[in-house]
Structure formats: C-alpha cells, structure tokens
C-alpha cells in the first residue's frame, strides 16, 4: 500500500465564498471542476498543489444554498494542512489582514498550530511541520513559496468507538499509533500524515449537510490493492463496500465501526488524464463528457469567478435564486419560476435553449410540500390557499424590486417564464401586482385566484402555452379570457406534449419573442 491520505472531501453551501477562501486566501490551486459522479448536477471542485498530487487534494461537493450540517459523533471534526514551522507568523498576519478570527498559535503534539474557520464554519488547522513536503509547489503573488501550503497534514475523527476506529486504521490502512494527549490518540502513516482520533463518547450527534466533511480517502497502489482491502474488510463483516471508477482514480468506500466514511483511492491515473498542467482546473468536465451534457451543466451548475476576476455579487434577497451570466450577454433577461417539486436549476436548460445569450435569474419557491418547493400552498389537487397566494405574490414582488436594483436589471428587457405552479403564481401576480410583469410566458398554467381583484393589465403581453395531452390543457383558454378581460394582450398556443416541457415549447417561445 502507498499509504497516507489521498484526499479529503467536504460539503460547501456557497461556491464563490469557497473558491475565495481555498484558492484566494489559502492559495491552493483549483485543479479540477467536474459534475459529480453520484449526481452529475452537483458541482465538485478539487484543490491541491501544482499538479493535484495525491495527498494534497482537498475537494468539495457544492450544495449551493443547501442546509447546514453539524460536525459531531461519526464525522471528521477538523482538517489540517501542513506549512513550514516558520510560516505560522506569516499566516497569522495574513488571517488578521483578511478579517478572519484565527485562534492561536497553540501547540499540539509538539507542533505549532493556527486554527481558522472556512466560510462554512469548518475548522481548518495550519500546522507547522517539516515532516511533509510537496514535490509540486503552487504559489501565488501574495504567498511566497516558502510560506505556501505543502499538502494535507491530517484530520481529526470524532468516534464513539475510538479503539475500534483505531484498529481498522491500523489493520487495513497502514496507520500506526504515535502518541496520546488527553482524549486524542494520534496515528501516523509512513509518509507522515496523521489522524487524530478523539474519544467522542457523550458528544452531540452529527447531522449531514453543508459545512461538514463527507469522507477521508487513503492511497492505494492499484486495483489489485483495492480488491485485497475489500476482501479483508468483507472477511470481518465490515459495512458493505463497492468499487467505483471516478475517472481520476478508482476507489472503494467503507464505514468504520464509529460510522465515519472512509475511501481508498488509487494514485493513478491522476488529474492530468484530461488536462495538461498549464490548464488544470480551467474547464468543466463530467463523467461522460458528452457535449450536450456539458452544455446543460454549464448553465445548471453554480457559476463562480477565480480570485481577481470580475464576478456577480449575490445579494441577500427573500428568495433563494441562481443568477446565470452568459459569455456575451445580449441584454435580454429571463426570470424563471419552476413547477411543483423542482428548484431554481430546473428551468435553466430550457431558458438557455430559448436564448443562449440571455441573462437568467432563476428563483426557488418558498412553500414546501413534503419537503419539495412550491410557490404557494394548495389545499387539494385543484384548490389553492388564497391567502398564501396573496402573501407569496407580495413577497415575490418585493424580491423582483430588490433584484432589479441589486443586479442592475433593465425592467424593459425582462421576460418572466413560469412553468405549472410557477406560471400560476405569475398569472395571479398579473392581477395582484399589475404593471410589474410586462412580458410573460405561462407554460401549462391555470387561473388560481378564486376572486381576482379588478386590474389594469393593458401593458402586459402574455404567451400561454398548453399541452395537447395535458390534463390541465382545458384551463388555458379560460385563463387567457380572464387576462384579456383585464386588458392584456394574450396569445395562446398548443403543443403536442403533455404536462412536460419539450423542444416545441422552445420554438413557440422563440417565435413569440421575435
């Protein structure tokens, strides 16, 4: 076995803040950006040294605007990165200058340690040690090479079964006991990285989510070694293990007796299999790298800018939202509202098909039904909470006003595109907040206000698209009639689809926009 840590994977809630901290403040190199292997619509970022060497990799699953978790029993509580001992002062000064609140320096197992928290609240320790050096240093203009982070120093494991956790690491992952300090037992690998096992009996329970560590991965030579470890784990009735091809390495996962997730990953083929060293981390990859999939992912996955590049500054507004800026914006703006059970990413691909150069603002509804987002509550399949419609329409109107000012949107260039439940909120808003929505596309929509107030909709231009096979199709004409009664200009189109959206909707909307 090569031994030692291959990578550590965490979960982040805000990709831009994450990039600013790990690439900007810590000076790690972004060596890979991919769609996730378990969920391709989840962004996965990998940071490391100049070539993404095993042992230098800190990776993040991006759960943009996801729920925060809590580090506790059965999780990794801290991660640590190796720096030169003389660099502690440099990093303390850098942290204070950046407005962070470092703790320390202190001493742990004879090493100087500076504690920081990343934007998600994860404890990141900078540890002064000469044991671990990098063979591929990565530096930035503000971090001289002598102060740069070398690689991963280790991690702290919170275990309710510390003896059993230690036994698995010693027996199957080639760690050996080094020292004990209070409730912490330190293990060390042959290359010199460490695992601190904290006796966490009586600690609070962990909760999965953003701001937590997903797993620690250890290094293996090849597939034969993976299979050998798997066979040994199965022989002791360990948690079921499965082999995976992650393109940049092959691996297996296992939970140790304390329920902490471990991975064993091969060194090869490595980060340079699909990029050369000069361009590492500059383009998006996906498990099968099909052009169609990559085109969709470039719109669906959250955008971010590298340190020093222009960026969109997200604002704290009443609705969770995603803002997509194309490479060459043409000035058109689509504000997108999803259907029941979807989220702020769902409408992005179809909107991008309609106009690849339009700026997209896609919003998530706040009403939840069995945990899935909607725009307002319903009391039955065809009946709706009227007070909730009014309340959410008012909140959404305030959101639009805030977004226009925060993102510099031109109201004359905005087209609202809503699908199903999202379209139903839009048609209600035409009555409740006249003159706010001037151009709207209502896909698979029906009127939901039981007693709409009189409203002047004379400045509204609306396209209603029904599905020929959609059970809600017959509601399109009554909706159009109600809007026309308010003075709106309404065009009704029927496509051959059912309730789902397809390319015929795209063509109809494109023709209407022209």
Mean pLDDT of 165-179: 96
Mean pLDDT of 47-71: 96
DSSP secondary structure string for all residues of 469-483: T-TTGGGHHHHHHHH
pLDDT of residue 242: 76
pLDDT of residue 312: 86
d(CA 358, CA 412): 14
Mean pLDDT of the chain: 95
C-alpha distance from residue 357 to each of 323, 333, 353 (Å): 13, 9, 9
Alpha-carbon dihedral of residues 102, 107, 110, 111, nearest 10 degrees?
10
pLDDT of residue 27: 97
**Is residue 1 pLDDT above 70, yes or no?**
no
Q: By C-alpha distance, which of 62, 55, 30, 43 is closest to 279?
A: 30
- What b-and-e string marks burial along 477-496, b requiring 16 or more CB atoms within 10 Å of the CB? eebbebbeebebebebbbbe
Mean pLDDT of 467-483: 96
d(CA 414, CA 8): 43
Q: What does the H/E/C string look like for 22-66?
A: HHHHCCCEEEEEEECCCCCCCEEEEEECCCCCCCCEEEEEECCCC
Q: Which residue has the higher pLDDT, 463 or 316?
A: 463
Mean pLDDT of 302-321: 92
pLDDT of residue 101: 96
Q: What does the H/E/C string look like for 168-189?
A: HHHHHCCCEEEEEECCEEEEEC
pLDDT of residue 360: 98
Q: What is the pLDDT of residues 7-51, one digit of tens each?
A: 999 999 999 999 999 999 999 999 999 999 889 999 999 999 999
pLDDT of residue 381: 79
Q: What is the pLDDT of residues 111-134, one digit of tens each?
A: 999 999 999 999 999 999 999 988
The pTM of this model reads 0.93
| Plot region of 99 (φ>0 → left; ψ -120 to 50 → alpha; else → beta) | left
d(CA 81, CA 267): 20
Q: By C-alpha distance, which of 448, 344, 447 is closest to 388?
A: 448
510 C-beta neighbours (distance < 10 Å), count: 12
Q: What is the pLDDT of residues 342-368, one digit of tens each?
A: 999 999 999 999 999 999 999 999 999
% of the chain with per-residue pLDDT over 90: 89
% of the chain with per-residue pLDDT over 70: 99
**Is residue 2 pLDDT above 80, yes or no?**
no
Local confidence band at 424 (pLDDT 50, 70, 90 cut-offs): very high
pLDDT of residue 339: 97
pLDDT of residue 499: 96
Cis peptide before 494 (omega within 30 of 0): no
pLDDT of residue 332: 98
Residue with tokens 């001037």: 438
**Is residue 218 pLDDT above 80, yes or no?**
yes
Mean pLDDT of 246-271: 94
d(CA 440, CA 402): 19
d(CA 479, CA 512): 18
Q: Side-chain half-sphere of 211: how many Cα atoms within 13 Å?
A: 17
DSSP helix/strand/coil, 298: helix
Decide if 416 contacts 375 (C-beta within 8 A): no
Q: From start to end of 270-356, where are the E strands?
A: 284-285, 321-324, 333-337
Q: What is the pLDDT of residues 234-256, one digit of tens each?
A: 888 766 677 899 999 999 999 99
């Amino acid at each position: 076995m090569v031994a030692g840590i291959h990578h550590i994977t965490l979960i982040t809630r805000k990709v831009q803040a994450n990039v600013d901290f790990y690439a900007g403040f810590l000076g790690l190199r972004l060596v890979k950006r991919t769609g996730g292997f378990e969920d391709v619509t989840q962004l996965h970022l990998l940071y490391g040294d100049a070539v993404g060497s095993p042992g230098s990799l800190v990776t993040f699953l991006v759960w943009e605007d996801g729920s925060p978790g809590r580090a506790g029993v059965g999780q990794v509580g801290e991660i640590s990165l190796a720096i030169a001992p003389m660099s502690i002062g440099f990093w303390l000064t850098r942290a204070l200058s950046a407005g962070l609140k470092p703790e320390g320096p202190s001493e742990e197992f004879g090493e100087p340690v500076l504690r920081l928290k990343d934007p998600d609240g994860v404890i990141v320790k900078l540890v002064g040690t000469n044991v671990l050096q990098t063979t591929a240093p990565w530096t930035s203009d503000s971090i001289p090479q002598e102060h740069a982070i070398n690689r991963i120093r280790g991690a702290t494991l919170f275990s309710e079964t510390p003896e059993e956790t230690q036994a698995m690491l010693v027996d199957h992952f080639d760690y050996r006991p080094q020292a004990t300090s209070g409730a912490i037992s330190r293990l060390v690998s042959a290359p010199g990285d460490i695992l601190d096992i904290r006796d966490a009996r009586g600690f609070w329970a962990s909760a999965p989510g953003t701001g937590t560590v997903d797993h620690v991965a250890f290094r293996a030579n090849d597939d034969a070694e993976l299979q050998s470890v798997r066979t040994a784990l199965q022989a002791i009735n360990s948690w079921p293990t499965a082999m995976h091809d992650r393109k940049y390495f092959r691996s297996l996962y296992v939970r140790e007796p304390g329920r902490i997730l471990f991975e064993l990953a091969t060194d090869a083929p490595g980060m340079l299999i699909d990029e050369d060293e000069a361009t590492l981390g500059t383009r998006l990859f996906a498990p099968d790298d099909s052009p169609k999939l990559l085109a969709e992912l470039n719109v669906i996955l959250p955008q971010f800018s590298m340190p020093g590049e222009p960026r969109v500054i997200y604002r704290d507004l009443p609705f969770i939202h995603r803002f997509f800026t194309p490479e060459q914006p043409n000035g058109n703006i689509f504000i997108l509202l999803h259907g029941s059970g979807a989220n702020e990413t769902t409408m992005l691909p179809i909107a991008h098909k309609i106009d690849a150069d339009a700026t997209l603002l896609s919003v998530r509804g706040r009403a939840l039904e069995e945990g899935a987002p909607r725009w307002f509550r319903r009391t039955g399949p065809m009946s709706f909470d009227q007070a909730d419609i009014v309340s959410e329409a008012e909140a959404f109107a305030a959101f639009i006003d805030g977004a226009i000012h925060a993102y510099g949107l031109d109201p004359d260039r905005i087209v609202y595109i809503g699908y199903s439940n999202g379209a139903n909120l839009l048609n209600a808003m035409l009555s409740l907040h006249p003159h706010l929505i001037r151009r709207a596309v209502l896909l698979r929509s029906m009127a939901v206000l039981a007693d709409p107030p009189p409203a002047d909709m004379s400045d509204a231009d609306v396209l209603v698209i029904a599905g020929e096979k959609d059970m809600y199709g017959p509601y399109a004409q009554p909706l159009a009639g109600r809007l026309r009664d308010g003075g709106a200009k309404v065009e009704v189109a029927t496509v051959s689809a059912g309730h789902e959206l397809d390319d015929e909707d795209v063509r109809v909307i494109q023709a209407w926009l022209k």
